[in-house]
Structure 1
Amino acid sequence: MEPCLSLAAMETAVGDNISAHEIGANKQLDSLTSDFYNWRLETEPEWSTSLGVYKHNDKLESWNYKDFESRKNRAQEFLDQLMSVKTTDLDKTRMVSYDILKDVLKTYIDGYRWWKFQPLNPFTFLEGFLTYPKKLISVTPFDTHGDFLNFIIRIEKMPQQYNEMMESARLAIQYNHTLSSVSVNRIPVMIDELIANESSFHLLEPFLEDKAPIVLGDSLQIMTERMKAAIKKLILKLKEVKSFIENHYMAHTRKICGILGWENGRQNYRDTLRWHTSLNVTPEEVHQKGLDEVHRIHQEMLKVMCKLGFKGSVRDCFNTLNRNPDFLMTDPEAALQRYRDIIFQRIMPKLPKYFKKLPNLPIVVKYSSQDGVRGEYEPGSKDGMRPGTFYANVRRPEDNPTFSMVSLTLHETVPGHHLAESYSLVSDLPPFRKHFNWRAISAPFYFPFFNSYAEGWALYGEYLGEEMGIYRDDFELMGRYSDEINRACRLVVDTGLHYFGWDRDRAIEYVLNYTGITREAAMIEIDRYITWPGQACGYKMGELKIKELRQKATNELGLLFDLPEFHDIILRNGPMPLSILENLIEDWIKDVKSTASKI
C-alpha cells in the first residue's frame, strides 16, 4: 500500500487536478483491502505460508464450526466499511477493486445460509493434508532456527485441528448433511499409505537434510526428538480419523450422489453453481448449454475421425487409440520430458505474437505425488525464486496418451494457468486481487476464487493452441476435442447429478460415450463432480464467456481489434467475476473507439 500523503502533498495533487476527496476515497479503499487481506492471512495461516507470508507459520486454521458466525460478522463489517466509500471519487483501477471486493464479501455473507451443509464436511479425497501431504513442507522455509521451531509447533497443533474437523463431521451427521460415500471412501487407504512407516514419515524430512545441522547446531537432536514426538501424536490422531470415517461417518453418508439428497438441495445447488461460475445462470440453462456444446464438438470429432479413416463411434475410436502402443509412454521421466518439450519448443516461441509484456516467470514440470487428476498447476513466486510447477500424473500410461498431452500442457502451463498466474503476480494489483485460496468443498459459504475466470481462461488456452498451430496432427486434435468435450460433458453431468437426479453409473456412461478417457479415469472424474458440486461447470462457462467477449470486441472494433491487447486486458487485471470482466471489455471497446475517432 502506498504511504499516506501529507497535507502539502495533497494540496499539490489538488493543484494537479486530483481532488482531496479522490485521494481520500482511494486511500480509504487501499486501507480497507489491505485490512481484509491481512485478516484472511491471519485466519488461514497455511495459505499465508504458501504465499510467502511467514508471520503465521506457527498457526493452523481453525475448523471449529462455532467460528463461522464470527467470521461472517467480520465480513459484514468489511462490507459496511466498503459501502461508506464514495465511489464517484475512485479512480478507474480502484473502482474495479471496489466491485471485486464487494462481490467477494457479498458472496461470502450470502453463503452463510448454507453453513450447516458443505462446510461441515472437511474430509474428502480431493482436498487437504491427506491429499497433498508434502505441500506443507514445500511451501515452508527452513532457513532459521525459528523456521524449524514454527514448523514443529504447527505440527503439534494438527491433532487439535483434526479434532475440530471430526466435530464438524459429527454435526453434519446430526443434521443429515453428509457427503456421498465416494467422496470419503478412499480416505482410510490414504491414511494407511501416509503413516505406513513412522520412522520415515515425510514431515521429518527437513530435519534430516544436510542444512539442518548447520541451521540448528547443538539443538538439532532436541528439536528432532520434539518433532518425532509431534509426529507420533499426529499419527495416533490420523488413526483415530481413519476409525471415525470407517466406523461412523461412512454409515451415515448421503444415499443420493448429488446434493439433491439434502433438504433444499436444488436451491443449494443453484447457489453453488452461481458461486463457481460467477454468472446468474440456472441449472436448466447450464444443462442445455452442455448438451449444445457436446453436440457441436462431437460433430467436429466425427470430421477428424473421417479424415483418419475411423468408422464407428467416438468411444470405439478412443478405445482403439488408447490401446495403441505408439501413443503410450511407460517411462515416467520420458513423459515428463515430452511435456517440457511441448512447453519450451512448441508453445513458448509463439507466445509473443499473441501476448504483450510477457512476464516470463519460470515453469517446471514435476511428477505428481498423488494419483488423481491428470495434471495440476501450483503458482510460483513473483521474484521467480519459486517457479510455477506443473504436476503431471504419469502413473497410468493409458490415461495419459501422447495425443492428449498437448491440450493438457496448454491448459496447465502456457497460455493457460501459468501465464495467467504470472501476469497476476507481476501486475500492479492489490494483494487481495492476486491471491485466492482454492477451496471447493466449502462453497457456497467461502470466499470465491473466481473459478470460471481461472479455468475458463485455461480452457480458452486450449482453444487458442489450435489458432497458434500447436497441435501438429489430427491425433493431437482428437486429444484436444476429447478434453474440450469432457468440459462440455461436465455441464450436463454436474447438473444431472446435483439437480436432475442422475446416479453415478449414468454419469460415468455419459462421459465415456463422448470422451477418450478410460473407465477408471471416468470414475475418478465423476466422483470429483459428486464431491465438488458446480466446480466442474466453471471451465466451459468461463471459456464461452471469454470467447463471447472476444467476438463482441471483434464485431464492434473490426480492423481496430487487437488480439494481444484483448488478452492483456483480461490477464493484467487478474481473477474477477465474469460480469466485471465483461464491463472491463466493454470499457476497452469504448476507449478504442474514442481514441480512433480523435485521430
Structure 2
Amino acid sequence: MKKLLMVLLAGAAAAGCHTGTNTAKTPNTALANLFNSYYEDRMQLFPLEATFNGDNRYNDQLPVDFTDSYRAKLKTFFQRYQDSIGQYKRDELSENDQVSYDIFTYEMKTSLDGLQFHDNYMPANQFWGLTLTLGQLGSGEGAQPFKTVQDYDMWLKRAAGFSAWTDSAIAYFGKGIADSTVLPRTLVVKVIPQMDAMVTPDATKSIFYGPIAKMPATFSDADKKRLTDAYVQLIKTQLVPAYLKLGTYLKTQYLPHARSTSGISAIPNGDKYYAYLAHYWTTTNKQPEDIYNTGLSEVKRIRGLMDSVKTAVHFNGSLDSFFQYMKTNPLFTPYKTPKEVLDAFHSIHARMTPNLAKMFGRTPKTPFEIRQTEAFRAASASAEYNQGSPDGTRPGIFYVPIVDATKFNTTSGMESLFLHEAIPGHHYQISLTQENNDLPKFRRFLGYGAYQEGWALYCESLGKELGLYTDPYQYMGALGDEMHRAVRLVVDVAIHTKGMTREEAIKYMMENEPISEDGATAEIERYMAIPGQALSYKIGALKIRELRNKYEQQLGAKFKLSAFHDEFLKDGAMPLDVIEKKMDAWAAKQ
C-alpha cells in the first residue's frame, strides 16, 4: 500500500525548549504545541494528504510539489522542525513523548536526506502519481468529498490547477532527459495509454463527470445547472487537453529518451539513491546485500512448504507444473460476474469474524467496504486498501481489480489477500491509529511501509488461527503470497543493484510462485517504478514475528496474543527500531 509521508513544517518553534526538570515525566505541552504546529503546517504544504486525512480545508488546492522551488520550501520546513525538536532532551520526556520524539527526529532526518536526490525529474509513472490520483479524487468515489455545493466548487478550483501541474511535469521530465534521470522505456509505454484513457470527446462519459451524475437532489436547480455546465467546461477545456498534451509529449518526445535499463542504478547517483530507498522503506539500516540474502533463504524455506502442500493433495509432478495446474484448471475460475468475486470476499470476512475477538481486544469504529476497482485503472492496479476518514464519514475501502471475472482465480490467495489488505490488516492498523485521539496528529496519520506492510503481511500468517486456510489450495495461495514477498527481496535488490533485467526478474518470479506472466510483468514493473518499496513487507513481517516469538518465550503463561496485537497497533506506525523499543518496554511490564 502507498505510504503517504507525514510530518513536516511548523510555524512555531514551540513555546519553549526543554523544561529543564521534567522529573514527573508528565506530557510536555510545549512539545505538543510543536507537534501540532508541524501537522498544521504540513497540511498546508501537502493539501492532497490533508484530503486523504479527512481534513477538508485545502480541498481546492493542487500545488506542483515536485518543482525545485517547492522542494526548497520543503527543505526549509523540515530543517526548521529538526532544529526545533533538537532543543528538547529526550530523557526528560514522558514515555509517550519519547516515542513521539524518536519518530519525529527520524522523520525530519529521513525527509531531508531524500531531498538531495532528483526523483522529481520523474514526476509520474504507471503505478503512482497525480495523473492517476486525480481520477480517483475527481470520480466522486474517492477521498475528495462531494456532498455540498461548496465541495463541488472546491473541486473545480483544485482540478483547474492540473494543467499547470502537467506543464511542469513536462518541464521536469525534460530536465530528467538532460540529466539522464529518466524512466525505463517499458514503463513509459504503460503510462501513455493511461493518459489516452482520460481523453474523452464526450464530457459526460469522463470519469470526472461522476460527481455530476451523483449530484445530491437537495441542490437548487440553479446550482445543479451551474455546476453541470462548469464541470463539462472543466473536462472539455482543461482536463482533457492537459492529459492529451502530457500523453502526446510522453509518446513523441520522452519515449525516445527513455532508458533500456531496468534498475535505478542506471541513473546518476542511482546506487546511493537505492541505498537511501532501502533505508526509507524498511526503516532499518540493513544493507541491500543482507536483504537480498534474507530473500534467498526465505524463498528456499517457503518452497519446502509448497512442496508439502503439493504432496498432501497427491499432485504428481514438479512444483512448476503444480503452479500451472492451479493457473489453468477451470475448477479455480468459477466466477461469472464481478459481484460473485466480491461476494466471495464477503464470505471470507464472515467466516473469520468469530475468531477475531480472541485475537484483538480493540477493533476500529471506522466502517469498512469491499469495492471493485474503477475500470480506468483496473488493468494496472493491484488490490489495495484506501483509508477511511477518522470521523467515520468515509469508510475504509478494500479495492479489488476485476478486469474479467471469468479469469479471476481462487487460488490467487483470496483469503490471505483479505487478511492483508482488509481485516485485520490495513483496515485495523490504519483505522485504530486514526481513531486514537491520544496521539499527536502527526502520528495518527503517519505511514511507514515496514510497519504497515509488515503488519499486513504478518496478518496473512494468522489465517489458520482465524479459521481460514482449511482448503489446501487457499493455503497454497497464502504460501504463494508469502513467497511473493520473499521473491520481492531478491528481485528488487537484484534489479536495482545487480543488473538483473526486467525479463530475468519476471522469469525468476514465475519459477518460484504461481503467477501469470501478465501478473509477474505488472509486479516487476512496479518495482522498477518505485524502487525499494517492495522490501518493506517481508522485512516488517519478519520483525513482528520475531517480537511475538521473543515475548511468548519470555512471558510464558503471561503472554496474551490479543494484548500483544493491541499494544503493537495502539500507538500507530513507527520505524521498526522504535516499535521494538516500545514493545520491549511493554513486555517488561507484563
TM-score by length of 1: 0.90
Residue number in structure 1 paired with 2:507? 509
CA distance in 1, matches of 2:589, 2:191: 53
* 2:100 maps to 1:97: yes
CA contact (8 A) 2:464 2:470 kept: no
The farther-off stretch of 401-410 and 218-227 is 218-227
Q: Quote the offset at 1:399 in angstroms.
A: 6.4
Q: Quote the offset at 1:544 in angstroms.
A: 0.4
Residue number in structure 2 paired with 1:301? 306
CA distance in 2, matches of 1:94, 1:399: 51
SS at 2:132 equivalent: coil
CA distance in 2, matches of 1:31, 1:178: 42
CA distance in 1, matches of 2:263, 2:31: 41
Seen in structure 2, the aligned counterparts of structure 1 residues 66 and 520 have a Cα distance that, compared at 3 Å, is same
Letter in 2 for 1:108: S
CA contact (8 A) 2:429 2:572 kept: yes
Residue number in structure 2 paired with 1:119? 120
Residue number in structure 2 paired with 1:223? 227
Q: Which runs of 5+ in 2 are unaligned?
A: 1-18
- Cα offsets for 1:449-506 (capped at 9, x unmatched): 3101111100000001123331122111111111100110000000110011100111
Residue number in structure 1 paired with 2:399? 391
CA distance in 2, matches of 1:323, 1:398: 12
* 2:444 maps to 1:421: no
- Cα offsets for 1:542-583 (capped at 9, x unmatched): 100111111111222222222111111111111110010110
CA contact (8 A) 2:124 2:130 kept: no
Residue number in structure 2 paired with 1:565? 563
Q: Quote the offset at 1:120 in angstroms.
A: 1.9
* 2:289 maps to 1:284: yes
Letter in 2 for 1:408: L
SS at 1:414 equivalent: coil
- Cα offsets for 1:54-104 (capped at 9, x unmatched): 111111122323221221121100110011123233211111111111111
CA distance in 1, matches of 2:310, 2:381: 26
- Cα offsets for 1:263-310 (capped at 9, x unmatched): 332221111101000011111101100000000000000011011112
Q: Quote the offset at 1:361 in angstroms.
A: 3.1
Residue number in structure 2 paired with 1:27? 29
Q: Quote the offset at 1:164 in angstroms.
A: 1.7
SS at 2:147 equivalent: coil
CA distance in 2, matches of 1:424, 1:432: 11
CA distance in 2, matches of 1:399, 1:491: 28
Residue number in structure 1 paired with 2:337? 331
CA contact (8 A) 1:287 1:492 kept: yes
CA contact (8 A) 1:28 1:85 kept: no
CA contact (8 A) 1:65 1:120 kept: no
Structure 2 counterparts to residues 540-579 of structure 1, below 5 A: 540-579=538-577
CA distance in 2, matches of 1:574, 1:311: 47
User: How many aligned positions are there?
Assistant: 559
CA distance in 1, matches of 2:22, 2:266: 56
CA distance in 1, matches of 2:201, 2:351: 43
Q: Quote the offset at 1:360 in angstroms.
A: 4.6
Q: Quote the offset at 1:400 in angstroms.
A: 3.6
Residue number in structure 1 paired with 2:14? none
Seen in structure 2, the aligned counterparts of structure 1 residues 395 and 219 have a Cα distance that, compared at 3 Å, is closer
TM-score by length of 2: 0.91
SS at 2:357 equivalent: helix
CA distance in 1, matches of 2:464, 2:271: 38
Q: 1:49 aligns with which of 24, 48, 51?
A: 51
Q: Which runs of 5+ in 1 are unaligned?
A: 1-13, 437-448, 593-599
Q: 2:415 aligns with which of 406, 415, 418?
A: 406
Q: 2:156 aligns with which of 135, 152, 157?
A: 152
After superposition, the CA RMSD in angstroms is 1.9
Seen in structure 2, the aligned counterparts of structure 1 residues 194 and 121 have a Cα distance that, compared at 3 Å, is same
Residue number in structure 1 paired with 2:268? 263
SS at 1:131 equivalent: helix
CA contact (8 A) 2:75 2:115 kept: yes
Q: Quote the offset at 1:216 in angstroms.
A: 4.7
Letter in 2 for 1:353: K
SS at 2:462 equivalent: helix
Seen in structure 2, the aligned counterparts of structure 1 residues 216 and 207 have a Cα distance that, compared at 3 Å, is farther
CA distance in 2, matches of 1:307, 1:506: 31
CA contact (8 A) 1:347 1:414 kept: no
Seen in structure 2, the aligned counterparts of structure 1 residues 387 and 52 have a Cα distance that, compared at 3 Å, is same
SS at 2:465 equivalent: helix
Letter in 2 for 1:393: P
CA contact (8 A) 2:196 2:243 kept: no
CA distance in 1, matches of 2:391, 2:325: 46
CA distance in 1, matches of 2:221, 2:87: 54
- Cα offsets for 1:125-173 (capped at 9, x unmatched): 1113433413343322333332222111112111111112222211111
SS at 1:130 equivalent: helix
Structure 2 counterparts to residues 153-552 of structure 1, below 5 A: 153-200=157-204, 201-211=206-216, 214-231=218-235, 232-328=237-333, 329-343=335-349, 345-369=350-374, 370-397=378-405, 400-403=408-411, 404-427=413-436, 428-436=438-446, 449-552=447-550
Q: 2:583 aligns with which of 569, 582, 585?
A: 585
CA distance in 2, matches of 1:457, 1:539: 8
